[in-house]
Amino acid sequence: MIISILICLIFLSGLITVSVIYNKYDLDINRLTSTNNGVKVYSANGKDSTLYNTNRSIIEIEALPKYVLDAFIDTEDKRFYSHNGYDLKRIVKAGLVNMVNGSKSQGASTISQQLIKNTLLTNEKTYSRKIKELVLSIKMEKQFEKDEILEMYLNTIYFGSNAYGIENASKIYFNKSAKDLTINEACCLAGIIKSPLQYSPKINYENSLKRKNFVAKAMFENGSISEKDYNQVTASPIVLSEYADYDHSYEEEAIYEACSLLNISERELINRKYEIITFKDDDLQDAVIKANTDVIIPCEEKYNSNLDSLNMVISNEGKMLAYYAGSNFNLHNLRRQPASTLKPLAVYLPCIIHNILTPATPILDEEIDYSGFSPKNADNKYHGLVSTRYALSNSLNIPAVKALDYLGLNRSYDCLLDMGINIEKSDLNLSLALGSTKKGIYLKDLLSAYSILANQGVDRGISFIDKIIDPEGNIIYQHTDYQNRIFEEGDCFLINDMLKDTATQGSAKRLNSLSIPVASKTGTAYNGENNTDIYNISYTSEHTLLCWISDLKDNYLPDGMLSSIETTEINKSILSYLYSDHSPDDFKQPDNIHKLPYDIVELEENQRLISPNGIAERYIAYDYFKDDYAPESIDIDHDFIFSVAVNKAGATISFDARKSKSYSIYKKCDDQTILLDTISNQSGIVEILDENIFKYSEVSYYIEDDTSKSDEINIRPKDYLINIMNKEILDQKKKWYV
């Protein structure tokens, strides 16, 4: 009796507990069935740029082929039509797995539970949330038919790439209505929803392919498709189509940034009906899209290829004014080999910071070999002694590698980290000078690093969003100006000034016709067989632009496409738009930077940067130097080293000449001074023969240059003749006679 009473009490308390929990949560029918959950994204001028796929397009379940429904049911909830909102077998199995693993990684959500979570709850992994999800699922099952629940589910589920609902997903991935999906396409979409970041074909094609085939296998095992259909699906690729509607890549990036700022998921952001005000300039965005399509489309037609491009334009306050991702793939977290765009950041900037190089410092461009690493220049030529300025503006490979070797890899690594570029420790080898990294770098990080140069050492960050507003009109996020000095102003000015040469006479010289002060750097990534990526990064005192082109599907570019042409032309078009009515100010010259003269001849002959000392103007060059690393002031000891030798032909005057000086050779005889010759633009030993000497008893020679005069050397030609005659006479006499 006692046991029976206890059992009854436990059962009664259980019923009371379940009843309390069941009555605690109410099912919000309006939110469950609402299709107007879209977030609104506004450009800077207030134009409504609402994302096309957040206000869901609804499709009725009757319009969908049965295999589309089966793809989701067989994968997500094969007992969907037989349970009451929860699957007890799956709950027990998931609970045991979680107990063994000590985690909450395994879920047992039915389609009903997923619908409740997607529309009414958050993504937090707590038992209280799961209980609420279970209760609301049971309540929903009592109020709606199974097909109604499945229809709401398919019109709500998230498919990645900001696609909510199967109709939007079908249009985004395959440019068709969901009612026209093939079995292969249906399997692909059903596979995505488990983890859009992991299984979206735009982000990870190989994973998506495997997941699609997994869905097909589940359908075959459940009898939803035939063996023939199964084999056909597993043998078929995923063929994505371009979405034909207006470009929304800027708005998509703003959504990603909002999620990061608020630390919530994309689904939560969409469901909260926030409004996002961005820094987008609509007219500039249109100009960027036009600049890309004007170049990309003819290239695709010419080379019969599918190209991917990314173009970003930021103000030097860090505001993203335009962002265009022309690709079937999601470029949000794209990492690529930066190629030569890394040279200024990984090599030349740290060399200038550590007073290893100046723009005028000579580097010998020659054949090199570092334990089997023998880089070549793009033109397969060696250019001899070149200045740092020339090496950087023409993107020579060998000088960059030699400079990195002298700098040291750890200094390069520290400099890259300071500007927000993260590379692997395994990347620390000399090929880093050529932009070779294991995993590549984020293109947005590359843009940010160049914007630090544009701001002459100040990091301003990059932001799409000005503010975020909740449905009640409250500002829940407001952008604030961010400034952090990373590098000295003078170090960045020197890099900027050298990269201005790239835009006038280097690899980006197509920009020269703009007649504005602009710095630029091109880059071409090579995989050992083909070019894979081309870049142009250009910046002024007002804006920084990055243009990138590749073919992500085939991972090689046509031979005719070059960074000096296509990407440079795109950025040129955008710069022309930006500065159609004004010219940006030049980069401000810091107080510790001065344009100073240096001796060209001493640089060529002895590889020393010294101040000119009494040489002609034509042998003087000018460049920018830091005050603490300027050309040395050295008094060059250049006494005239000359001699006079007499032979039968006459007097040979020899002296050591310098290219930077002009010399006059004089002869004094019989109270007159005669100019024998003038020598200029010559280096080394110079010899002059004076044949007219033997009629004089005494002759003197001296030399004058631009600033001084040598001592005189006297000779007696007739004495020389007498000695010669005596020697010949003696040589002709016999020994005994002498």
Q: What would the two tokens of residue 485 be?
A: 């000095």
CA–CA distance, 566 with 198 (Å, rounded to integer): 32
CA–CA distance, 183 with 436 (Å, rounded to integer): 42
96, 7: one domain: yes
Q: Is residue 441 part of a domain?
A: no
pLDDT greater at residue 382 or residue 717? 382
Least confident of 342-351, 388-397, 606-615: 606-615
CA–CA distance, 476 with 274 (Å, rounded to integer): 9
% of the chain exceeding 70 in pLDDT: 89
3-class state of residue 611 by DSSP = coil
Q: Is residue 135 part of a domain?
A: yes
Q: Is 641 exposed, middle or buried (0-12, 13-18, 19+ CB in 10 A)?
A: exposed
Q: Is residue 97 part of a domain?
A: yes
Which residues, other chains included, contact 570 with Cβ-Cβ below 8 Å and sequence gap of 6+? 291, 292, 295, 309, 311, 536, 547
Q: Are 486 and 449 in contact (CB under 8 A)?
A: no
Q: Are 166 and 159 in contact (CB under 8 A)?
A: yes
Q: What is the mean pLDDT of residues 321-341?
A: 90
Distance, first Cα to last Cα, the chain: 161
| Tally of CB atoms within 10 A around 385 | 13
Q: What would the two tokens of residue 652 be?
A: 């040979």
617, 652: one domain: no
Q: In 3D, which of 152, 110, 151 has the Cα closest to residue 134?
A: 110
Q: Which residues pair with 620 in a beta bridge?
A: 599
Q: In 3D, which of 251, 262, 312 has the Cα closest to residue 444?
A: 312
Q: Is residue 103 part of a domain?
A: yes
Give the CA dihedral 402, 403, 405, 407, nearest 10 degrees.
170
pLDDT greater at residue 271 or residue 599? 599
Which residues, other chains included, contact 575 with Cβ-Cβ below 8 Å and sequence gap of 6+? 511, 514, 516, 518, 538, 540, 543, 545
CA–CA distance, 579 with 339 (Å, rounded to integer): 29
Give the confidence band of 659 by pLDDT, cuts at 50, 70, 90: confident
CA–CA distance, 63 with 177 (Å, rounded to integer): 10
For strands 275-278 and 40-42, give the pairing. parallel
Q: pLDDT value at position 328?
A: 76
For strands 519-526 and 484-485, give the pairing. unpaired
- What are the distances in angstroms from CA 482 to CA 317, 374, 444, 683, 697? 8, 43, 17, 56, 87
CA–CA distance, 31 with 28 (Å, rounded to integer): 6
Give the confidence band of 136 by pLDDT, cuts at 50, 70, 90: confident
CA–CA distance, 402 with 659 (Å, rounded to integer): 29
> Given 193, 212, 245, which residue is the final one in a domain?
245
CA–CA distance, 711 with 478 (Å, rounded to integer): 80
- What are the distances in angstroms from CA 683 to CA 417, 597, 604, 655? 47, 21, 11, 10
188, 69: one domain: yes
pLDDT in tens, 137-151: 888 888 899 998 899
Q: Are 188 and 212 in contact (CB under 8 A)?
A: yes
pLDDT at 446 over 50: yes
pLDDT greater at residue 669 or residue 90? 669
23, 88: one domain: yes
Q: What is the mean pLDDT of residues 553-561?
A: 89
613, 689: one domain: no
3-class state of residue 148 by DSSP = helix
Helix, strand, coil percentages for the chain (3-state, nearest 5) = 45, 20, 40
Q: How many domains does the chain have?
A: 3
662, 618: one domain: no
pLDDT at 245 over 60: no
Q: What is the mean pLDDT of residues 552-575?
A: 93
Q: Identify residue 280 by its one-letter amino acid code.
A: K
pLDDT in tens, 509-534: 999 999 999 999 999 999 888 899 99
pLDDT in tens, 678-687: 998 888 889 9
Give the confidence band of 280 by pLDDT, cuts at 50, 70, 90: very high
611, 654: one domain: no
Q: What is the mean pLDDT of residues 152-181?
A: 86
**CATH number of the domain enclosing 89:** 1.10.3810.10
114, 223: one domain: yes
Give the confidence band of 257 by pLDDT, cuts at 50, 70, 90: very high
Q: pLDDT value at position 100?
A: 61
Q: What is the mean pLDDT of residues 687-701?
A: 90
Q: What is the mean pLDDT of residues 190-215?
A: 89
> Given 228, 245, 262, which residue is the final one in a domain?
245
Q: Is residue 7 part of a domain?
A: yes
CA–CA distance, 693 with 162 (Å, rounded to integer): 97
Q: Is residue 419 part of a domain?
A: no
Q: pLDDT value at position 132?
A: 82
Q: In 3D, which of 137, 87, 142 has the Cα closest to residue 115?
A: 137
Q: Which helix (H) or strand (E) holds 549?
A: strand 543-550
654, 601: one domain: no
- What are the distances in angstroms from CA 660 to CA 93, 637, 656, 682, 683? 89, 14, 12, 8, 8
pLDDT greater at residue 527 or residue 347? 347
Q: pLDDT value at position 286?
A: 93
674, 610: one domain: no
605, 706: one domain: no
**Highest mean pLDDT pick, 1-15, 226-240, 326-340:** 226-240
Q: In 3D, which of 342, 316, 292 has the Cα closest to residue 522?
A: 342
> Given 196, 225, 245, which residue is the final one in a domain?
245
Q: Is residue 218 part of a domain?
A: yes
% of the chain exceeding 90 in pLDDT: 56
What is the rounded average pLDDT for all residues in the chain? 87
CA–CA distance, 233 with 219 (Å, rounded to integer): 11
Q: What would the two tokens of residue 241 be?
A: 């189509």
Q: In 140-260, at which residue ranges do the beta strands (DSSP E only) sit?
A: none
719, 603: one domain: no
| Tally of CB atoms within 10 A around 730 | 9
pLDDT in tens, 14-54: 545 555 565 667 777 766 766 555 678 899 987 666 554 45
pLDDT at 349 over 70: yes
Give the confidence band of 406 by pLDDT, cuts at 50, 70, 90: very high
Q: Is residue 199 part of a domain?
A: yes
- What are the distances in angstroms from CA 76 to CA 69, 133, 154, 159? 11, 16, 12, 14
pLDDT greater at residue 304 or residue 546? 546
DSSP 368-399: --BTTB----TTS---EEEEHHHHHHTT-HHH
Q: pLDDT value at position 208?
A: 92
CA–CA distance, 563 with 338 (Å, rounded to integer): 12
pLDDT in tens, 50-97: 554 455 678 899 999 999 999 999 999 888 888 888 777 777 766 666
Q: pLDDT value at position 346?
A: 97
Q: In 448-528, at which residue ranges do the beta strands (DSSP E only) sit?
A: 458-459, 465-469, 475-478, 484-485, 519-526
**CATH number of the domain enclosing 698:** 2.60.40
Domain holding 608, by residue range, is 593-629
